[in-house]
Structure 1
């Protein structure tokens, strides 16, 4: 069954782009990512990425999920390289358009510099824990 999928993408050095396409979600994701799909979850936001990005010659970081208050990248943080795709899951695991909660999480992503390259950073730790 072909459905309309609302999702967003982020490419290295770029901005978050919201998209709406009709089609099979797996094929859309494979076309956008162009690699082996991996996924991580932040609340209702699911982040798909190329699981083999470390095999690329010069992977360019796209997204850093800070799980540690240190200003440096630590072993607790998640660094994703290459194009990433944002979407949500339904109650049965089916991919659905971005939920309101997922959009609120995306709104908290901030641009930063890593060396001389732009990346997006999401702070995923409690300020009270600092």
Structure 2
């Protein structure tokens, strides 16, 4: 691809990657999926700003510096939000797993009680 078209191609591929990661959730750990999605958003934003810079819209040193600082702040905010969301998702998953474990244990206890009742009733019939 010509040098001028690379940022827009990268932006399109990064946007496609955002959609794929958001829908596929390829990792087992919810926090990892959240962090991976945040990384895809960072790529998309970075390529978009690269496209904006390559278009020649920003000509002064001050505007270029502002774009650079903005990109840095946005990337740091995305990482911070992704970490907080990932931790929250992990806690939610742990609570769900604990509830499932407790329900399975209760089911096993009730199953053994029901089996004992059934055996006692069966022995009474024989």
Q: TM-score, normalised by structure 2?
A: 0.31
Greater strand share, structure number: 1
Greater helix share, structure number: 2
